[in-house]
Amino acid sequence: MHGLMQDHPLLISTLIRHAAENHGRREVVSRLGDGSIHRTDYATIEQRARRLARALESRGIRSGDRVATLAWNTYRHVECFYGVSGHGAVLHTVNPRLFHEQIAYIIRHAEDRVLVFDADLLPIVETIAPEIGCVERFVVLCDRSGMPQSERLKLEAYEDWIDGADDDYTWPNLDERAASSLCYTSGTTGNPKGVLYSHRSTLIHALSASQADGFSLSGLDAVMPIAPLFHANGWSLPYACPMVGAKMVLPGHHMDAGSLFELLSTEGVSFAVGVPTIWTMLLTYMSEQGATLPNLGRCLVAGTALPPAVQKSLKDVHGAIAIHAWGMTETSPIGTVGTPTAEVDTLPEVERAVQLLKQGRVPYGVEIQVRDSQGGIAPRDGETFGPLWVRGSWVASGYFKGEGGAVLDADGWFPTGDVATWDRYGYMKITDRTKDVIKSGGEWISSIDVENAAMSHPKVALAAAVSAFHPKWDERPVLVIVPKAGQQLTREELLEFLTPLMAKWWLPDDVVFVSEMPMTATGKILKAKLREQYWHRLA
């Protein structure tokens, strides 16, 4: 017997319609390319998203067609999240920081019919244009007066599309399982692979993300996604903010500490989201300026491990809670969030802080497993580490166009490529990526633990532990360090500092000081490059 409840499909358009009707005047603030501040609201965004949908429809873009964006965090990009997916087309957010060949590859692979991009990214688009024959229209996110000149391409102004479309578009009723957006993983090995989200997965993920033990979002929040909207669905914020009526504060491409701080402060941001390197940069800037952010209550830190030093200074200096989360493009992205349970909340302060440095526990809707070396389930002792598997309603079941073949095991579990422990409180801790583990004499050293210990030295800005070839032990750790500006640090001083913090056999065999780290397009240290560089360091 079926229940007698109404059956409304979970559609992305229902989110922005809800926001327009119930939080219509709630602001969305953006820093534009020229540094100026632009203000709009959810009612206007919904109206313009409908016009965008109409513009797409009148140009023959149909359900399932892919529309790519190459864009920074601004209100126009948010409009695309709704105009494109709401119309039934698939929003393909492309990361402009990828290599040009990768951008061209994924646009071709996705068969994007339209490319919508920010004006300052025209040089990339012009370079790859000969490689992306699938793209029929090039639309610049500006009005006619802001249009850049292009000798090679016929460009159209986004604002002309919006102005030229009438207002009477109504959001179509779609299958909630229809594809809504597409993100490619950066593909550190092999070609990038596309993760294809559905309206349903996106909506239930956003419902979960906004819960108290997720981002704890409410209409009272002012939220700044410092993490790019093109990375893993903007960590759900373009969906979760309108869902609850939170103000959005979007930094555009002005990612320097001064510009970010100014927006965080003047717009009263209460919740901000970014990778650890962003937080390290902001905290250094604020300590140099003697500035604090009294409104900032919570910071979500994910993408790479939360360094204890960041957790501590956010709390001690700014009174803000660092919420540590783990996820990946394939998990929409939220897999676990490190908020306290009742049990953890009553632990002594130091133990509680250590617990909350872990990547956290699953929300309803996700299941995880840490497996042992025989493929069985590892004990929940917080010590045994093994491969991490995940499954749930917002976890990928495969890649776009079957790339990479079947990825799930017989019971539907997805292999994350991460190595983790889990403990009796239900908290998971990432100890490494499978390929970054340092295998010393058959035992595993967690590169993340070594890095975190090094990062707690007051003179260290960035640390990376990588394996180097060793004739006796196969691999031994080498620590690569970027010291804080103006600080002198020696190898001996650092090793002495690390000695009480880890098992003796985990201590790095060598320390290298560099002025900068090679970084990936998603703001992570490019360990593969460092490994290649220092592989023979100990030979």
Active site members: 185, 330, 439, 444
Task: Check binding of 302 to ligand ADP (CB under 6 A).
Answer: yes
For the CB of residue 520, give the shortest distance to ligand ADP in the complex, in Å.
6
CA atoms within 13 A on the CB side of 13: 26
For the CB of residue 388, give the shortest distance to ligand ADP in the complex, in Å.
8
Distance CA 139, CA 288 (A): 41
Distance CA 164, CA 275 (A): 39
Distance CA 512, CA 412 (A): 43
* DSSP states along 406-423: --S-TTSPEEEEEEEEE-
Question: Which distant-in-sequence residues (6+ apart) come within 8 Å of 273 by Cβ?
Answer: 215, 223, 224, 225, 226, 227, 235, 237, 299, 300, 302
Task: Check binding of 451 to ligand ADP (CB under 6 A).
Answer: no
- Residue from 303, 363, 386, 477 binding ligand ADP (CB under 6 A): 303
Pick out residues in 220-259 that bind ligand ADP (CB under 6 A).
232
Ordered alpha helix ranges (H), 119-244 = 122-128, 158-164, 199-209, 237-244
Task: Check binding of 186 to ligand ADP (CB under 6 A).
Answer: yes
**Peptide bond just before 333 cis, omega within 30 deg:** yes
For the CB of residue 471, give the shortest distance to ligand ADP in the complex, in Å.
30
Task: Check binding of 181 to ligand ADP (CB under 6 A).
Answer: no
For the CB of residue 326, give the shortest distance to ligand ADP in the complex, in Å.
4
Q: Which is nearer to ligand ADP, 42 or 326 (CB)?
A: 326
Distance CA 180, CA 201 (A): 9
Q: Which is nearer to ligand ADP, 153 or 407 (CB)?
A: 407
Task: Check binding of 359 to ligand ADP (CB under 6 A).
Answer: yes
Ordered alpha helix ranges (H), 198-348 = 199-209, 237-244, 257-266, 276-289, 308-318, 342-345
- Residue from 107, 203, 244, 328 binding ligand ADP (CB under 6 A): 328
Task: Check binding of 185 to ligand ADP (CB under 6 A).
Answer: yes
- Whether 384 and 436 have beta carbons less than 8 Å apart is answered as no
For the CB of residue 339, give the shortest distance to ligand ADP in the complex, in Å.
13
Amino acid (one-letter) located at 458: P
Count CB atoms within 10 A of the CB of residue 370.
23
For the CB of residue 184, give the shortest distance to ligand ADP in the complex, in Å.
8
- Residue from 305, 322, 420, 462 binding ligand ADP (CB under 6 A): 305
For the CB of residue 194, give the shortest distance to ligand ADP in the complex, in Å.
12
- Residue from 198, 201, 304, 332 binding ligand ADP (CB under 6 A): 304
- Residue from 417, 473, 489, 537 binding ligand ADP (CB under 6 A): 417
Task: Check binding of 449 to ligand ADP (CB under 6 A).
Answer: no
Question: Which distant-in-sequence residues (6+ apart) come within 8 Å of 342 by Cβ?
Answer: none
For residue 218, CA distances in Å to 16, 98, 247, 334 come to 16, 34, 9, 18
- Whether 286 and 311 have beta carbons less than 8 Å apart is answered as no
- Whether 32 and 38 have beta carbons less than 8 Å apart is answered as yes
- Residue from 418, 423, 451, 475 binding ligand ADP (CB under 6 A): 418
Q: Which is nearer to ligand ADP, 147 or 521 (CB)?
A: 521
Q: Which is nearer to ligand ADP, 281 or 526 (CB)?
A: 526
> Which helix or strand (DSSP H or E) is residue 51 part of?
helix 42-58
Q: Give the number of residues in contact with ligand ADP, rule: CB under 6 A.
A: 21
Pick out residues in 480-539 that bind ligand ADP (CB under 6 A).
522, 524
CA atoms within 13 A on the CB side of 375: 3
Q: Which is nearer to ligand ADP, 13 or 520 (CB)?
A: 520
- Residue from 102, 313, 329, 452 binding ligand ADP (CB under 6 A): 329
Give the interface segment with ligand ADP, choosing from 21-29, 239-247, 415-423, 494-502 (CB under 6 A).
Answer: 415-423
For the CB of residue 342, give the shortest distance to ligand ADP in the complex, in Å.
23
Phi-psi region of 221 (alpha: psi -120 to 50; beta: other; left: phi over 0): beta
| Residues in touch with ligand ADP (CB under 6 A) | 185-186, 232, 302-305, 324-329, 359, 416-418, 430, 433, 522, 524
